[in-house]
Amino acid sequence: MAWRRSSIAWKAAFTIVLLAYLTASWGSGLDRLTRGWPALQEFVPTAFRAEAARQAALLALEQGNGSAALAEARRAVDAEPVHPMSTALLGAARQIGGAAQGADPAFRVAGMLGWRARLTQLYWYDAAVRSGDWPLAAIRADAVLRVDPAFPLSDRLLAPLEASEPGQSAIAARLALRPDWLESYFHFKDEGQGELLGRRTKVALALAARGVPLGCKTPAFLAARLLARGERAQAEELWRGHCGDPGRAAGLSDGRFERLATQGATPPFGWIRHSSGDITARLVALGEDGGHVFRASNFGDVSRLALSQRLALRPGRYRFFAEMRTDGRATPGAYLASLDCDGAARRPRRIMPDPAGEGQLLNAGACSGQTLGLWLQPGTRNVDLGNLRIEAAD
């Protein structure tokens, strides 16, 4: 009988524990579901409303409702005081409600509980910026971007750091560790933002000054855009610090295609190859001297742009020279050159002497994005282009 009573008591206790566990699992599970379905919040037991309260507080913050955010943040702290996001939300709610002094201790507690809460990192980032502590601000920004390299407000977040040389150096110190956000930092959306391009270039130069070259691939984005804006000197400095010799400072570079053949990718300095369904092309080595020719055919009915290169010629008249051969025989007129501004190569209309003879005359104006274009004429087959050069005509 005693054993039976003991067994019944044990079963009762087990049942109570099991029910408590199931209740807890249901409550916390439903609590987690409120992240995706906020309408479920009213069905969550009070003891498990932590996540629901946090989501409600976040929504109130987004709507600018300080009193509602504060009330929900307090509920989140009451339900789960050791969760870093609960106290972070409390601090944020106090801050937007005008109680900045109360925000600081809340964010201090949030920092002690863990630094993965973005609100906490952003609060202390702002504090570091206001105090001029650029290295600490860069650490906080780095923490935010490591968690989310595609953080949509990253440009606005980093702008205060990028605005000064000490801030740029602090960002460079974090990028020297090669975080996941390095590529996205230097491959920002290009919307004609000259100021953003300038700031990122300065950070890249600060990184090179630290002895941390990024190679050629990453700086190519910046260098190409600097060239397009006519800022060749800065593009060359950037390229020299991260990749190597950019070639001639102003005139035509890589006239024998050695660099194009060895780099294996389109560089911002030197030749850019243009694909077309009408053109087939490849580089052919000449032999021991290391030079190459560009062998191409145009199967179309109109001239096609085959190659282009950014230049920085002083205003004036120039002559463009090139050797053109097919099966070892001279093929004058196979290519014609154009020289235009704004990074565009436009099909030439008026042609004066042939590049393979006296040299085609080109007029260089005072403009940004000078671009030399080489146009392969229709019906040409296996033309070898080589020994290119530009000389002043006057």
- CA–CA dist 24, 1 (Å, integer): 34
Torsion angle of C-alpha atoms 63, 69, 75, 77, degrees rounded to 10 = 110
So what's the pLDDT on residue 318? 95
Q: Which of 24, 80, 25 is nearest to 51 (CA)?
A: 80
Task: Output helix, strand, coil percentages for the chain, rounded to the nearest 5.
Answer: 50, 15, 35
So what's the pLDDT on residue 326? 95
Structural domains in the chain? 11-193 (1.25.40.10), 258-392 (2.60.120)
Tokens of 114: 């863990």
HSE of 361, CA atoms in CB hemisphere, 13 A? 10
Tell me the torsion sign for CA atoms 70, 71, 72, 75.
Answer: positive
Q: What is the CA radius of gyration of the chain?
A: 33
Task: Fill in the amino acid letter for 202.
Answer: K
Element (H, E) at 2: helix 2-33
Which residue's structure tokens are 């923490």? 143
Neighbours of 387 (CB within 10 A): 14
For 61-108, the DSSP string reads HHTT-HHHHHHHHHHHHHH-TT-HHHHHHHHHHHHHTT-HHHHHHHHH
Task: Going residue by residue through the chain, which has 394 residues, state the pLDDT in tens, using 9 for 90 and above.
Answer: 443 333 333 333 333 333 333 233 333 443 444 444 455 455 555 445 677 778 887 777 777 777 777 878 788 777 777 787 777 887 787 877 666 666 777 777 766 776 677 778 888 888 899 899 999 999 999 998 998 898 888 998 999 999 999 999 999 999 999 999 999 999 988 666 688 999 999 999 999 999 999 988 889 889 988 887 878 889 989 998 998 777 655 578 889 998 888 876 556 888 989 988 899 999 999 876 668 999 999 999 999 999 999 888 889 999 999 999 999 899 999 999 999 998 889 998 766 788 998 999 999 988 878 899 999 999 999 999 999 999 999 7
Tokens of 46: 């009070």
Residue 317's φ and ψ, nearest 5 degrees, are -100, 140
DSSP for residue 46:
G
Residue 327 burial by Cβ neighbours in a 10 Å radius (0-12, 13-18, 19+): exposed
So what's the pLDDT on residue 95? 77
- CA–CA dist 74, 80 (Å, integer): 10
Tokens of 343: 């990074």
Residue 302's φ and ψ, nearest 5 degrees, are -135, 165
So what's the pLDDT on residue 48? 56
- CA–CA dist 308, 336 (Å, integer): 12
- CA–CA dist 50, 53 (Å, integer): 5
**Which ranges of 180-228 would DSSP assign to H, the alpha helix?**
182-186, 194-209, 217-228
Check if the beta carbon of residue 176 is closer than 8 Å to that of residue 210. yes
Check if the beta carbon of residue 56 is closer than 8 Å to that of residue 38. yes
Q: Degrees (nearest 5) of the Cα angle 224, 229, 234?
A: 70
Q: Which of 148, 156, 216, 131 is nearest to 184 (CA)?
A: 148
